[in-house]
């Protein structure tokens, strides 16, 4: 019987290096997964307690918040009628005076975005996932403090209504057009009562809709923020908190996956430059090997 020929020392060295690298990679993945679970567990404990407190507080304050919103609705509708009566050409003023300025800002933003350095696919996925985690965390915190946040926004709208009254009665009454359609109505509309839907009223059909007698419609009305806290039905508030937590958890899990993909196949600028240098340095040897093969 012939003894098996042992692998060379060099081959065994390479095998051990590979096995060690695979074990380290597996350990890294397990550590990352464990870290995510531990982090979620640490976060959910106080959030579960906070949910019960927030739910009770929101139920207690919802009716008063809703009454305040309805009062503001009546006030804003009345002021809108007064402004339209005073400025029948308000839509023309918006389109010719306000929209060009807003359009120029939007155009400049597009130019800036185009000049922003591009990221690799995997690098970009990590960056996007991090933004999603931050956004979902902020949304969860906002919904947990919905009663406080709504009260603050309603308070700001109250002050805005007072300012609108002052401006409309002044020599600069034309400025009331900007205050109403671009400052007050969007913030009022975005917190409008909804049973549980996440989409605010469309500005094309919401209270900002021009009167039928208007010769034209404004072209650049702000779109209410679809992700803000709004006057949700108290019966659906707890479910909204559940959904906000789930969205945050999913975002963190997505980030973990994106980071793992990037770790396996990094494509940031520094890595790509390093790879280019390596390929350039071995060009002669690689070509010789290719020709001899």
Question: pLDDT tens digits, residue range 27-60?
Answer: 667 777 778 788 888 888 899 999 999 999 999 9
CA angle 47, 49, 50 (to 5 degrees): 60
Mean pLDDT value across the chain: 89
pLDDT of the residue at 23:
77
**194: which strand partners?**
232
β-sheet bridge partners, residue 232: 194
Residue 132 token pair: 């999603």
Residue located via tokens 């403090």: 145
Q: How far apart are CA 85 and CA 154, in angstroms?
A: 26
Give yes or no for a contact between 287 and 179, defined as CB atoms under 8 angstroms apart.
Answer: no
Q: For residue range 64-106, what is the model confidence (pLDDT) as tens digits?
A: 999 999 999 999 999 999 999 999 999 999 999 999 999 999 9
For residue range 240-275, list pLDDT tens digits in order. Answer: 999 999 999 999 999 999 999 998 899 999 999 999
Q: Assess contact for 158 and 184: CB atoms under 8 A.
A: no
So what's the pLDDT on residue 214?
41
Angle, vertex CA 99, rays to CA 95 and CA 102, nearest 5: 175
- Domain range list for the chain: 43-264
The per-residue pLDDT for range 166-212, each reduced to its tens digit, is 999 999 999 999 999 999 999 999 999 987 644 555 554 454 554 44
How far is 119 from 126, CA to CA, in rounded Å?
A: 10
Helix boundaries (H) for the chain: 9-86, 90-93, 99-115, 121-144, 146-168, 175-178, 185-190, 234-264, 269-281, 283-292
Residue 231: pLDDT over 90: yes
Query: pTM score, two decimals?
Result: 0.79
Contact 231/191 with Cβ under 8 angstroms?
yes
The answer to whether residues 161 and 72 touch, using CB atoms and an 8 Å cutoff, is yes
* pLDDT value at residue 211: 47
Please name the residues in contact with 193: beta carbons below 8 A apart, sequence gap of 6 or more. 66, 69, 230, 231, 232, 233
Cα–Cα distance for residue pair 232/58, rounded to 1 Å? 10
């Amino acid at each position: 019987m012939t003894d098996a020929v042992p692998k060379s020392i060099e081959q065994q060295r390479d095998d051990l290096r590979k096995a060690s690298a695979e074990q380290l990679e597996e350990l890294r993945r397990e550590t990352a997964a464990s870290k995510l679970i531990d982090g979620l567990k640490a976060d959910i404990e106080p959030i579960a307690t906070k949910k019960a407190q927030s739910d009770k507080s929101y139920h207690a304050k919802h009716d008063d918040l809703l009454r305040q919103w309805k009062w503001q609705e009546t006030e804003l509708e009345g002021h809108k009628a007064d402004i339209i009566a005073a400025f029948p050409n308000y839509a023309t003023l918006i389109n010719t005076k306000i929209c060009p300025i807003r359009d120029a800002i939007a155009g400049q933003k597009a130019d800036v975005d185009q000049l922003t350095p591009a990221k690799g696919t995997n690098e970009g996925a990590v960056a996007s996932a991090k933004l999603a985690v931050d956004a979902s965390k902020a949304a969860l915190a906002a919904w947990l403090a919905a009663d406080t946040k709504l009260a603050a926004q309603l308070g700001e709208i109250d002050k805005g209504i007072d300012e609108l009254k002052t401006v409309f009665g002044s020599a600069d009454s034309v400025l009331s057009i900007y205050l109403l359609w671009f400052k007050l109505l969007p913030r009022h509309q975005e917190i409008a009562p909804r049973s549980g839907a996440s989409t605010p009223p469309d500005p094309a059909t919401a209270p900002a809709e021009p009167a039928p007698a208007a010769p034209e419609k404004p072209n650049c009305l702000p779109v209410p923020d679809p992700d803000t806290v709004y006057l949700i039905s108290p019966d659906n508030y707890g479910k909204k908190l559940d959904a906000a937590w789930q969205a945050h958890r999913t975002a963190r899990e997505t980030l973990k996956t994106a980071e793992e993909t990037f770790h396996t196949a990094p494509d940031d600028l520094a890595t790509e430059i390093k790879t280019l240098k390596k390929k350039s340095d071995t060009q002669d040897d690689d070509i010789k090997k290719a020709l001899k093969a």
